[in-house]
Amino acid sequence: MPLTAHRCWPWIAVLLVVLGTGCTINRNVMFRTPKDFAFDPFNPISDVNYRIAPNDLISFQLYSNKGERLLSMTAGTIAGGIHGAVAQNRNLQAMNQNNRFVYEVRPDGTVELPELGPVLLAGLNIDEAETKLEGLYSANYIDPLALLEVTNQRVLIFPGEAGVASVIPLTNPNTSLLEVLALSGGIRARGDARNVKLIRRGESGQTIQQFDLSTIDGLKYANTTVQAGDIIYVEPLPQLANEVLADVTPVLSLLSTISSFIALVSIVGGNN
C-alpha cells in the first residue's frame, strides 16, 4: 500500500537530521593529522635535563659554606637515632619552609632574585642555573650552595575520551610515558592504543611523535621519558553509529509524539 504524505514526512525529517548532524560527528577529536603527515622520528634517548622556560615557578634556597648548615641538620638525623631523626627532620622541614622562596620566570626569561636583581635563567637546566647563581652570589657569600627546583612541571594527558583529560605533576625527572598514562587512569575504552601522540616543545618548535602501544613491541615507546609541558594525546576511536543515534533519538521521540497526536486527532475526528 503506498505511503501517504503524513506517513512519509517523519522519515524524511529523520533523514534530514542525520544528514545535518553528519558534519558534527566526532567533533571532539583533536590534533587530527592527514594520512601522509610526517611524524618526527622516535628518539629513545631523551634529554631529561629540563630547561627553564618563561612562566616557570622556581623554588630557590641558598646556603653558605657549601651548605654546611644543611649538612649539620641532616647529619644530626643519623647521629641522634630514631627519636633524634624525627626531631631533626621536623627542624629540617621548618628550615626548608623558612629558607625556600618561589619565584616566577618572567616572559623575558629573567628571575628577580634578592641582592642580584633580574638574572637570566631561561634556557638553562637546573645544574647550569645553580652553578650560575653560585658564581653570582660568591661575591657576597663564602662558598655559596644554590638549590633550585621547578615546582610547576606537569604533563597534559588526553586518554581518549571526552571529559577525562588531566594534568599530571612531574615529581620525578625520569617519569615514563607509561607512568603518566597509569596516573591518569590508563587509556580509556574509546581510546586507540595504536594512535598515541606525544607533542613536545623543542628549541626549534613543536615536535610530534606517534606511538603504537597496542602490542608488546610498544614497550620501547612506553618507557620514553616525558618532559614538562608534554602533551600526550590518545586519539579516540570513531563512533559513528552511537553519535548518530544520540543526535537522532530526541528527534525520533518528538516525531513519535507528534505522530501519536495526529493519530489521536484522526480517530477523534473520525468518530465525530
* Strand-pair category, 205-211 with 191-202: antiparallel
Is residue 119 scored above 90 in pLDDT?
Answer: yes
Q: State the pLDDT at residue 116.
A: 93
Phi, psi for residue 220 in degrees, rounded to 5: -65, -25
Average pLDDT score over the chain = 77
Q: State the pLDDT at residue 187.
A: 92
CB count in 10 Å sphere of residue 37? 9
Helix ranges restricted to H, the chain: 5-21, 68-79, 81-99, 126-137, 177-183, 219-222, 240-271
Q: State the pLDDT at residue 34.
A: 82
pLDDT tens profile 213-230:
999 999 989 888 898 889
pLDDT tens profile 236-266:
887 655 555 555 566 667 667 766 766 666 7
* Cα 241 to Cα 153: distance, rounded to the nearest angstrom: 40
Q: 2 versus 202: which is more confidently predicted? A: 202
Q: State the pLDDT at residue 215.
A: 93
For the chain, the residue count is: 272
Percentage of the residues of the chain whose pLDDT score is greater than 90: 35
Q: Tell me the C-alpha to C-alpha distance, in Å, between residue 224 and each of 201, 230, 233, 252.
A: 15, 12, 15, 49
Q: State the pLDDT at residue 56.
A: 92
Predicted confidence band of residue 36 (pLDDT cuts 50, 70, 90): confident
**Least confident among 13-22, 140-149, 242-251, 263-272:** 13-22
Q: 142 versus 77: which is more confidently predicted? A: 142
Q: State the pLDDT at residue 95.
A: 45
Is residue 210 scored above 80 in pLDDT?
Answer: yes
Q: State the pLDDT at residue 16.
A: 55
Question: Most confidently modeled of 46-50, 68-72, 151-155?
Answer: 151-155
- For residue 131 the three cell numbers come to 652553578
The predicted model scores a pTM of 0.62
Report yes or no: 195 and 234 within 8 Å, Cβ to Cβ.
yes
Q: State the pLDDT at residue 86.
A: 45
CB count in 10 Å sphere of residue 74? 13
Q: State the pLDDT at residue 254.
A: 66
